[in-house]
Homo-oligomer: A and B are copies of this chain.
Amino acid sequence: MSLVLRETALAFRRAPLLSALSVTTIAFSLFVFGLFGLVAVNIQRAIGNVAERVEVVAYLKRGTPLQAVALAAADIEAFPEVESVQHVTEQEALARARRDLREFQDIFQDLETNPLPASLDVRLRPAFRDVQRAAAVAERLAALAIVDDVRYGREWVEKLDRLRNIAGAVGTVVGAAFALVAIIIIGTTIRMAVLHRSREIAIMRLVGATDGFIRRPFLLEGILKGLLGGVLAVGLSYGGYALIDAYLLRASFFTAAQATLGVAAGGFIGLVGSLVSVGRHLRST
């Protein structure tokens, strides 16, 4: 083992440029992953935030007694899809409209009668926040006697669904492309390191080294470079995150577990890259 470590140290010492560049390449490949990972993490969070707000609103007939409303609310709260039900009176609706629609403040200011109906605002449970479920709940609410009309922001929910799909598709496509880039780059780097040392490998064989013995320092080198690259990539991603968080918009960073996984991925990529490159070289000569 000490020989393997020494050989690895020698590899770094003898070709510091090449080694540094391998590490940089792995780091940048993982950094690209990291950037897209961050985008994914933050879109996921944003979707979570938006999804929070999906609700079904049942406008009540004018003059419905409060008791009937309370009864209906209790019924609705018992639906499996429903998280909570809130009764918004006519006065509350007007206050809310004034607050939310500041462009039309004047209109609401000048009104002589309150044109807004009271409503029951129904929040769905997280797992049920999609178009089909919202439509189903809306249908059941519309059947109630006290309900005049039901709105559930169909378009909005549909848009949200599409955003989720788009994020998934873009993530998959771009992620796959960059996985390919990273693997090609790392493979190249190690392959060239092997080529660079092909004379050494040939001589090792001539003096009786086994393939395992020849392979070991390359594998260790690959793992070490990969780990180092992974650490660098996490650092770079953190820098990028910090910049964006400070100057552009509030964002989240990876959890410690995700970051550790990233570093481990670096080591794994390094190992696989060197295994493939060295293996091919040993078989071909």
In the complex, A40 has a CB within 8 A of chain B: no
In the complex, A261 has a CB within 8 A of chain B: no
Given A151-B103, A169-B248: A28 in contact with B196 (beta carbons within 8 A): no
| B21, B115, B170, B248: the one within 8 Å of A111 (CB) | B115
| B97, B173, B180, B185: the one within 8 Å of A243 (CB) | B173
Q: Give min CB distance, A91 to chain B, whole Å.
A: 15
In the complex, A136 has a CB within 8 A of chain B: no
Contact yes or no, A170 B116, CB < 8 A: no
Chain B residue nearest to A248 (CB atoms) is B166
What range describes how many residues of A lie at the interface? Answer: 35 or more
Which of A124-132, A187-195, A203-211 makes up part of the contact surface? A187-195
In the complex, A202 has a CB within 8 A of chain B: no
| B28, B107, B166, B185: the one within 8 Å of A115 (CB) | B107
CA distance A18 to B180 in the complex (A): 17
Interface bits A106-133 vs B (CB < 8 Å: 1, else 0): 1100111101110000000000000000
In the complex, A71 has a CB within 8 A of chain B: no
In the complex, A235 has a CB within 8 A of chain B: no
Q: Which residues of B contact A189 (CB under 8 A)?
A: 188
CA distance A88 to B82 in the complex (A): 44
Given A107-B115, A107-B116, A192-B196: A173 in contact with B240 (beta carbons within 8 A): yes
Q: Which residues of B contact A32 (CB under 8 A)?
A: 32, 181
CA distance A259 to B142 in the complex (A): 55
Given A181-B28, A196-B196: A188 in contact with B21 (beta carbons within 8 A): yes
